[in-house]
Every structure is written in structure tokens, then in C-alpha cells.
Amino acid sequence: MIMKNQRTSRTLNNIEARIIGLKAINPNLDFGSDRSLFELTNHAEQIRIKLSKHNDLLAALEKSRNELSNLEDSAITLSRQMLKGVAFQYGQDSHEYELAGGVKTSDRIKKGLKTRLRGVADQVTNPTVAA
């Protein structure tokens, strides 16, 4: 079973197919100077071992990434809960709420007011626009 990020080797597949064909010719095929079926089989095994280690590392990295993501999500949840606790204890319009990273209620611009102010600003900067 291949995981999402697991690597495969087309080269290894091709070499294994070549080995099968060469074995059909002669199981002890040897052309000298390290050009033998035995050497090719050793190379294929080295690739298989390295590929397995590589995929094990990928799986470990994926697990670590998931653990990190879960830890970040947990920290975000705790941070929000802490801000809500400060809001409950001191109020959303308090200096303490602002120190904890919240925006004081009195500092918020209501959307309706912001939209109206933008419309007035557009009329001032471009008086030819009819209201």
C-alpha cells in the first residue's frame, strides 16, 4: 500500500524487469569488470533498501507535521479561551482585554458607520458623483 507522499522508483521497477529477463538468458550472466547479474541484483537491493528508509523518513515527517499542526490548533484554542476569560473577568472594553490581544469594544468601528463614512469620503473627494 502506497501512502500519499510515499516515493516509488520507476528505475527500480525497470531494473527488476531487466533482471528477470537476464535470468531467463543465464542465471549466472557475467561480462567481467563488475558487469554481472549479481552486481545488478545488488544495486537493485541497495535501491530497495534506500527507498524503504526514505519512505520511513517521509512517514515520520508526516507524523511530526500532523503532531505539530495538532499542537498549534490546541494552542490557538487555549489562547482564544484565555482571551475570553480575560473578557469575562475584566470586560471587553478594559485595558486588560487590550493587553491580552483583544480589541476594546469602544475602539471598534461599527460596520454601518464605517460604510457611511466611506460614502461621505467618496462624495467629498469626487463631488461629481450624485448621491
Residue 55 predicted with pLDDT over 90: yes
Instruction: Give residue limits of the domains in the chain.
Output: 10-125
Q: How many helices (H) and strands (E) does the chain have?
A: 4, 0
Residues 6+ apart with CB under 8 A from 119: 131
Which pLDDT belongs to residue 109? 76
Which pLDDT belongs to residue 107? 86
Provide the CA 16 distance to its chain's centre, in angstroms.
34
Higher pLDDT: 4 or 15? It is 15
User: How far is it, in rounded angstroms, from Cα 42 to Cα 12?
Assistant: 12
pLDDT digit string (tens) for 8-47? 999 999 999 999 999 999 999 999 989 999 999 999 999 9
Mean pLDDT of 37-58: 96
Type of residue numbered 9: S
Question: Which of 87-96, 97-106, 115-124 has the least mean pLDDT?
Answer: 115-124
Residue 1 predicted with pLDDT over 80: no
CB atoms within 10 A of CB 39: 13
How much of the chain exceeds pLDDT 70, in percent?
Answer: 82
Residue 3 predicted with pLDDT over 60: no
pLDDT band at 115 (very low <50, low <70, confident <90, very high): low
Mean pLDDT of 62-78: 97
Q: Which residue has the cell 517521509?
A: 58
